[in-house]
Amino acid sequence: MEANIINLENNEDRKTITKLVSEITKKVNVNQIYLIIGDEESSRHYKFIIIIEDMAKRFKQRVKEVLDECLQEYPMFYAQFFTLHYIQNITSEGNTFFLNHCNKEKLIYYHHNYEEGWLFHNVDLSVVVIKARENFLNQEEKILGFKKGAELFLENKSFGHSAFMLHQTIEHSFLAAEYFLMGKTFTGHLISDHQNFMGNAHKEFKNIFPRENETDTNLLNKLNKAYCDTRYSLNYQIREELVLEIKKRAEDLIQLVKKYVEAELLKCERLLKNNYQKQPLEKTYDINETKTTDNATDESILEKIKKLGKQNFMTLTPIGGTREGYYLNYARVYDYLDLFALLQSTLNVCILALEEQQDCTLDIRNKEYDVKAVLSFAKNLIPLEEATFLDKMRELILSTEKNV
């Protein structure tokens, strides 16, 4: 299907953007793409926010690989992809990123048709900014707590522990910035990785420890080592003047995060006031038909779910007895997700055991690779996300039976 590309008439790079969007939408099931244009000094001038179909986690790595392949020859472009389910959940929790950046003015691609407000139709927009401010205050309290701990260790001349607390101060400052300015946080403890992640969109964050300067690079490497070396060894050493310099960088970062996050929250307040309704739109019905229609629909849906549940799904009812001649051992689990998580943990134990000890008595070449590969494959096949759906169905079936 030909891409529905809009809002690029006045963009000097519209041909390149159109080409990239066409390539991406041919390889990935995309619902919408939004374009964020950074300042001229940003290493990544263009950022795609790509809304994809909901999918299991095991398929998302392939989507990332496809996007990396499409963009590898275009250093000015950067892409992040999200599902509708993720966007609605994180916005409901108080993240303003998608409200600020996924609007009609920044839309450059849509599949079939575009409905304004579709991304947020299940979100109570009247409380988003309130929750966002609460979230940031909680994160700020944690950041300042780590900073206070660093100052206490510094006073006691425990420079290694002070460096560790400053590492946590800086890491959580980046996490707060990523949450509000990138839509998701980076997983990892290296400050250099967090700095690169944020620097893709905002150059100021990349300059906390400039990599072009050898002194700053050495300081950053020393800070990166503080996390593991201080926790797991006794030989981490750092001079007082380096700790003081790291403390100064941490204070600069905290102020930078406050400035950017406050700007994002104010921007969201203005957008909600001007462009969005406080409550999601609901379809209206004739008053005389509402109750009968809704009740009939609910009963029909519940009956269909109940029928499907009985035919196709186990409800994990505890076994009531044993078969003659057999001693039965069984473990009770609370729900599907609990069971699948237990299976995943079992496979993890097997894989870890293979890491340390191999039985090489059998004449099989590379058997450790074969077994590990199969176990890893089996682990990836465990339907953890589908388990949540099964549990919801089970709840509906059991609650319906109780009410009958």
Please indicate, yes or no, whether residues 50 and 92 belong to a single structural domain of this protein. yes
165-183 pLDDT, tens digit per residue, is 999 999 999 999 999 999 9
Q: Would the pTM of this model clear 0.95, i.e. be above it?
A: no
Is 33 in contact with 108 (CB distance < 8 Å)?
A: yes
136 and 100 part of one domain = no
**387 vs 144, higher pLDDT:** 144
Q: Helices (DSSP H) in 214-239: which residue ranges?
A: 214-232
- Same domain, residue pair 232 and 94: no
- Measure Cα distances from 141 to 117, 250, 259 in Å: 33, 15, 16
230-257 pLDDT, tens digit each: 877 777 899 999 999 999 999 999 999 9
| pLDDT tens digit sequence for 11-42 | 889 899 999 999 999 888 899 999 998 766 56
**Residue 326 clears pLDDT 50, i.e. is over it:** no
Rounded distance, CA 152 to CA 162, Å? Answer: 8
Is 280 within a domain?
no
Based on the fold, state whether residues 136 and 203 are members of the same structural domain: yes
- Whether 8 maps to a domain, the answer reads no
Q: Does one domain contain both 58 and 156? A: no
Residue 331 has pLDDT above 80, yes or no: no
| pLDDT tens-digit readout, 87-138 | 999 999 999 999 999 988 999 999 877 777 778 888 888 899 999 999 999 9
395 in a domain, yes or no? yes
The pLDDT score that the predictor gives to residue 165 is 95
**155 and 203 both lie in a single domain:** yes
Number of structural domains the chain divides into:
3
Mean per-residue pLDDT of the chain: 80
How far, in Å, CA of 129 to CA of 272, rounded? 9
Give the model's pLDDT for residue 42. 60
Q: Do 106 and 132 have their domain in common?
A: no
Statement: residue 371 has pLDDT above 90: no
CATH label of the domain that carries residue 19: 3.30.460.10
CATH of the domain at 268: 1.20.120.330
- Asked if residues 386 and 57 have their Cβ atoms less than 8 Å apart, the reply is no
Q: Is residue 150 part of a domain?
A: yes
Find the radius of gyration of the CA atoms of the chain. 26
330 pLDDT above the threshold of 50: no
> What DSSP designation does 186 have?
P
The CA distance from 65 to 157, in Å, is: 47
* CA–CA dist 225, 275 (Å, integer): 47
Closest CA to 99 of 275, 258, 282: 275
Last residue of a domain, one of 54, 79, 110: 110
DSSP string, 59-121: HHHHHHHHHHHHHTT-TTEEEEEEEHHHHHHHHHTT--HHHHHSSGGGEEEESS---TTGGGT
**284, part of any domain:** no
**Sole residue written with tokens 């959940």:** 89
Tell me how far CA of residue 249 lies from CA of 172, 216, 256, in angstroms. 14, 11, 10
3-state helix, strand, coil in the chain (%, to 5): 65, 5, 30
Q: Are 354 and 368 in contact, with CB atoms under 8 Å apart? A: yes
Cα–Cα dist 394/310, whole Å: 10
Q: Has residue 72 been placed in a domain? A: yes
* pLDDT greater than 90 at residue 296: no
For residues 141 and 260, membership in a common domain is answered with yes
pLDDT > 90 in the chain, percent: 40
CA–CA distance, 399 with 395 (Å, rounded to integer): 6
Domain of residue 136 covers 127-275
Compare 288 and 77 and report the one with higher pLDDT.
77
* pLDDT the model gives residue 298: 60
Query: Residue 213 gets which letter from DSSP?
Result: S
116 in a structural domain: no
Report d(CA 206, CA 187) in Å as an integer: 17
- For residues 156 and 185, membership in a common domain is answered with yes
Q: Is residue 296 part of a domain?
A: no
Residues 141 and 270 in one domain: yes
CA–CA gap between residue 146 and residue 236 (Å, rounded)? 19
Instruction: Identify the helix (H) or strand (E) that includes residue 209.
Output: none
Q: Report pLDDT for 387.
A: 78
Q: 171 and 223: one domain? A: yes
Strands 4-5 and 107-110: antiparallel
186 and 265 part of one domain: yes
Question: What is the pLDDT at residue 286?
Answer: 41
